[in-house]
C-alpha cells in the first residue's frame, strides 16, 4: 500500500488555494485503492506564524470542518491534529540533532526574513524565532513519523519535502545499521517521501495575481457566502483591455483560477473567449459560476459540521488514536537505534 500524507497550518480560514492545491488532490488520492491516508491539522506549525490563541483555535475548527465537508471519510482516512501526537515533537528532536544548520539557512521562509532585514539595514535575524528557523525539521517529523510515500501539496511546499528527504536520508545513513540491529527489521528506518503536485493547479494566484496566501491577504475563502465570493472575484486584478479586445491567458490570474475550477473542455472554451475578446466582467461572472458549482454543495456540509465542535472533537480523538498506532512503535525503534530506550 501507498501511504499519502498532508497537512494544513491552522493560522486562518481555508482558501481556494488550499482547496485546489492540497485538499482536493489529497482526497482524490485517498479514494484510490491500495492507499492509506493521513491528513492532519498542522497546529504546532501555526504557533510559528500566529500568536493569537483565539485565531489559532478558530482556524483549527474551520480547517477540521473543511476537510470533512470536502469529502474526507474518517473511516478511511486517519485524520488528526499534530498536537495530539507526542511522537511528532519527539522525532523533531532526533531529527534536529542530525540536521545541518546550513541546510536550514537555505530554507525559503527563513531566507526571506533575513533578506528583508538586510534590506532594511536591521540585524539579519531581527524578529526571527528559533521556531521559524526549525520549521522544516518539524515538517520533516510530520512526514517521517508516518512513513509517508507521497505528499500532495502546492508548489510552495516543494523545498520542505526535499528537506524532509535530506534529513531522513541523513538519519538513515547515521543510524540505519543500529536500527536494523536494535529492531531486527530490514530496510531503512525512515521512508523518503515523494512530493505530489497537481500540475493543473501548481500555484493558484490570489486577487492581486501573486500566490494566493494568508500572508498576502489576497485570498478567496473557500466557504465565502455567495455574495462575498462574487464581490471578491469581481476584484481580481486584470489589465485594462476593453471588451472586444483579445486577452492573454498567459499570466492571467483570472484564467488560472478558471482553469482550476473547470473541466479541460470548459477551460478550452474560455481560452477561445479570451482570444475573441470577452469582457472582464463577463469572464468574472463565468468564474463565479464555476466556483459556485464546485463549492455550493460543500458549503452546506461545512455549516453543519462547524456547528458541532463536540462531534469534530470525537472524530479527531479517534484519528489521533489510530495515528499513534503507527507513530508509537516507530518512535520506539528510533529511540533504541540512537541509543536511548530502556536498559536490557
Annotated binding site for ATP: which residue ranges? 9-11, 17-18, 154-156, 204, 211-215
Grid-cell match 537555505, residue found: 106
- How many C-beta neighbours within 10 Å does residue 246 have? 10
Binding status of residue 87 toward ligand TYM by CB under 6 A: no
Binding status of residue 30 toward ligand TYM by CB under 6 A: no
Residue 29 or 178: the one with the smaller Cβ distance to ligand TYM is 29
What are the phi and psi torsion angles at 184 (to 5°)? Answer: 75, 10
Grid-cell match 482526497, residue found: 27
CB of 8 to ligand TYM, least distance (A): 4
What DSSP letter does each residue of 12-78 carry, written as one string? S--BHHHIIIIIHHHHHHHTSTTEEEEEEEEHHHHHHH---HHHHHHHHHHHHHHHHHTT--TTTEE
Window 214 to 273, contacts with ligand TYM (CB under 6 A):
none
Question: Which distant-in-sequence residues (6+ apart) come within 8 Å of 176 by Cβ?
Answer: 188, 189
Report the residue from 68, 72, 107, 143 that binds ligand TYM according to the rule CB under 6 A: 143
Per rule CB under 6 A, count of chain residues that contact ligand TYM = 26
- Euclidean distance between CA atoms 165 and 143, whole angstroms: 10
Report the residue from 3, 21, 147, 315 that binds ligand TYM according to the rule CB under 6 A: 21
- Contact segment (CB under 6 A) with ligand TYM among 138-146, 175-183, 249-257, 286-294 equals 138-146
Binding status of residue 203 toward ligand TYM by CB under 6 A: yes
**Which three cell numbers mark 225?**
457566502
- Euclidean distance between CA atoms 332 and 319, whole angstroms: 20
Residue 105 or 200: the one with the smaller Cβ distance to ligand TYM is 200
- Euclidean distance between CA atoms 252 and 250, whole angstroms: 6
**Contact call for residues 316 and 240 (beta carbons, < 8 A):** no
Torsion of Cα atoms, 200 then 204 then 209 then 212, to 10°: 180
- Contact segment (CB under 6 A) with ligand TYM among 73-81, 98-106, 139-147, 300-308 equals 139-147
String of contacts with ligand TYM for each residue 156-195, x by CB under 6 A: xx--x-----------------------------------
Residue 18 or 172: the one with the smaller Cβ distance to ligand TYM is 18
Binding status of residue 201 toward ligand TYM by CB under 6 A: yes
- Contact segment (CB under 6 A) with ligand TYM among 18-26, 183-191, 247-255, 297-305 equals 18-26
CB of 341 to ligand TYM, least distance (A): 26
CA-based torsion, 47, 134, 120, 127: positive or negative: positive
- Euclidean distance between CA atoms 277 and 241, whole angstroms: 9
CA proximity to 154, closest of 106, 105, 200: 200
Give the residue at shortest CB distance from ligand TYM. Answer: 21
CB of 279 to ligand TYM, least distance (A): 26
Binding status of residue 151 toward ligand TYM by CB under 6 A: yes
Interface residues with ligand TYM (CB under 6 A) are 5-9, 17-18, 21-22, 42, 45, 139, 142-143, 151, 153-154, 156-157, 160, 201, 203-204, 211-213
Amino acid at each position: 500500500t501507498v501511504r499519502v500524507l498532508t497537512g494544513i497550518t491552522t493560522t486562518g480560514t481555508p482558501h481556494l488555494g488550499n482547496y485546489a492545491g492540497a485538499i482536493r488532490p489529497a482526497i482524490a488520492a485517498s479514494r484510490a485503492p491500495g492507499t492509506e491516508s493521513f491528513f492532519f491539522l498542522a497546529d504546532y506549525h501555526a504557533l510559528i506564524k500566529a500568536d493569537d490563541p483565539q485565531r489559532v483555535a478558530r482556524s483549527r475548527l474551520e480547517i477540521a470542518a473543511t476537510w470533512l465537508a470536502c469529502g474526507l471519510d474518517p473511516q478511511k482516512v486517519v485524520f488528526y491534529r499534530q498536537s495530539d501526537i507526542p511522537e511528532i515533537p519527539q522525532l523533531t528532536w532526533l531529527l534536529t540533532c542530525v540536521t545541518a544548520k546550513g541546510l536550514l539557512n537555505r530554507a525559503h521562509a527563513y531566507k526571506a526574513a533575513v533578506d528583508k532585514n538586510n534590506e532594511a539595514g536591521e540585524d539579519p535575524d531581527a524578529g526571527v524565532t528559533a521556531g521559524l528557523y526549525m520549521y522544516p525539521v518539524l515538517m520533516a517529523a510530520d512526514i517521517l513519523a508516518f512513513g509517508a510515500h507521497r505528499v500532495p501539496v502546492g508548489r510552495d511546499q516543494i523545498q520542505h519535502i526535499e528537506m524532509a528527504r535530506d534529513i531522513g536520508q541523513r538519519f538513515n545513513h547515521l543510524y540505519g545499521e543500529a536500527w536494523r540491529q536494535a529492531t531486527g527489521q530490514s530496510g531503512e528506518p525512515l521512508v523518503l517521501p515523494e512530493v505530489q503536485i497537481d500540475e493543473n493547479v501548481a500555484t493558484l494566484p490570489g486577487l492581486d495575481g501573486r500566490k494566493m496566501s494568508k500572508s498576502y491577504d489576497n485570498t478567496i475563502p473557500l466557504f465565502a457566502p455567495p455574495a462575498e465570493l462574487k464581490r471578491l472575484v469581481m476584484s481580481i486584478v486584470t489589465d485594462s483591455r476593453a471588451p472586444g479586445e483579445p486577452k492573454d491567458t498567459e499570466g492571467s490570474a483570472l484564467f488560472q483560477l478558471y482553469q482550476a475550477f473547470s473541466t479541460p473542455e470548459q477551460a478550452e472554451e474560455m481560452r477561445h473567449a479570451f482570444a475573441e475578446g470577452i469582457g472582464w466582467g463577463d469572464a468574472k461572472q463565468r468564474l463565479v459560476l464555476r466556483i459556485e458549482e464546485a463549492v455550493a454543495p460543500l458549503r452546506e456540509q461545512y455549516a453543519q459540521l462547524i456547528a458541532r465542535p463536540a462531534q469534530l472533537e470525537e472524530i479527531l480523538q479517534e484519528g489521533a488514536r489510530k495515528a499513534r498506532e503507527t507513530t508509537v512503535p516507530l518512535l520506539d525503534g528510533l529511540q533504541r537505534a540512537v541509543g536511548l530506550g530502556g536498559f536490557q
